[in-house]
Structure 1
């Protein structure tokens, strides 16, 4: 018996079903844990009011969760179109694209929310490493780890150019530097800290390591050459 044979279609389908069930269970558990804070913003979000919904963390999280079905529909539509065109790995590419956008934009929105002194208080910069880390607290560290986690998780699945840990680290750090610079230039009453860059980049790398088995083949990977047929004795 060949134990190295590739998994059959039923086994792949079973694993996909298990993965979907675990994702649904995890989402339901997260909703149960944060149901209280989210319900505080639900009335204003349902009424279509900006204030109290899209200008609060709870409101942005609620809108993000509520639009998950739309993200799933967009993934299905893109994958179906690609499969019809004969594109390989249509589902992986579509999931990576939608997941990157849907998982990153809400955190960017929250990081760019202006404070009470926006436009009045001058920009502040903190360039001493680890000085602000001790004041973030567990919730602040977790939030900073998640800012570019979706980017780090999905980007190597979609683009060969970032299929290595150093490249994902550079991508996460570069995006974080752009965000911190925008906070300073726009005078959003936020502190542009080097610790935010470090934690954001670390979150991207940790997420990338979690998706490593689904990365695309690197650009410099040598192509497998066909083996010559064995000579037949005459």
Structure 2
């Protein structure tokens, strides 16, 4: 965790300080237009995802590599020190958590766990591909895609109460899983 704080402490602090300011600004702006829920979702999507994007695309002093074997990296994340396990597993679960939490709240068409799952897989796979293409010293791993996607789906499940209400309000009576 010390390495995470040392490498990304400024990003974390800026995100923590800017989130309330951006939330208030979006809320005030949306008071005059459509929906406060959309304002919260928009701020959540941006402010909750941007710090992770900065961290994911910060160059490392290592050669780029790729691991396409599912569940190959995962054991090394949890077999090391507790700090490494928390940073790797926890961090990867949180990378797309804001995305999964707020996407179905903002876009009614995305209001299903299946759609969030597909969007999260596509987004995470794109991030991993970009890390490899940009040669920034990161490991592009299938395990990252799997855990990032799991984080997005768990977060979408946590916000389901809000987007399910919205989906019903607009007359979409299909199953919430579709």
CA–CA separation in structure 1 for the residues paired with 2:119 and 2:3: 32
Shift of 1:220: 7.4
Shift of 1:124: 1.3
- Which residue of 60, 64, 70 maps to 1:129? 70
CA contact (8 A) 2:23 2:39 kept: no
Structure with the bigger RCO (C-alpha within 8 Å, sep 6+) is 2
Runs of 4+ that moved beyond 3 A: none
| Structure 1 segment 1-234 matched on structure 2, within 5 A | 56-82=7-33, 87=34, 90-117=35-62, 121=63, 123-136=64-77, 137-215=85-163, 216-217=166-167, 221-222=172-173
Partner of 2:81: none
1:180 and 1:221, CA in 2 relative to 1: closer, same or farther beyond 3 A?
same
CA–CA separation in structure 1 for the residues paired with 2:156 and 2:139: 27
* Structure 2 residues not aligned, in runs of 5+: 78-84
TM-score using structure 1 length: 0.65
CA–CA separation in structure 2 for the residues paired with 1:70 and 1:158: 20
CA–CA separation in structure 1 for the residues paired with 2:147 and 2:171: 29
Deviations along 1:83-102, whole A, 9 cap, x unmatched?
A: xxxx3xx1111100111000
Task: Please say which structure displays the higher CA radius of gyration.
Answer: 1
1:174 and 1:61, CA in 2 relative to 1: closer, same or farther beyond 3 A?
same
1:186 and 1:220, CA in 2 relative to 1: closer, same or farther beyond 3 A?
farther
Shift of 1:221: 1.6
User: What secondary structure sits across from 1:211 in the alignment?
Assistant: helix
Deviations along 1:166-219, whole A, 9 cap, x unmatched?
A: 110111111101110011001011110000000000000000000001103177
CA contact (8 A) 1:37 1:58 kept: no
CA contact (8 A) 1:176 1:200 kept: yes
Q: How many residues align?
A: 164
CA–CA separation in structure 1 for the residues paired with 2:74 and 2:8: 21
Superposition CA RMSD, Å? 2.4
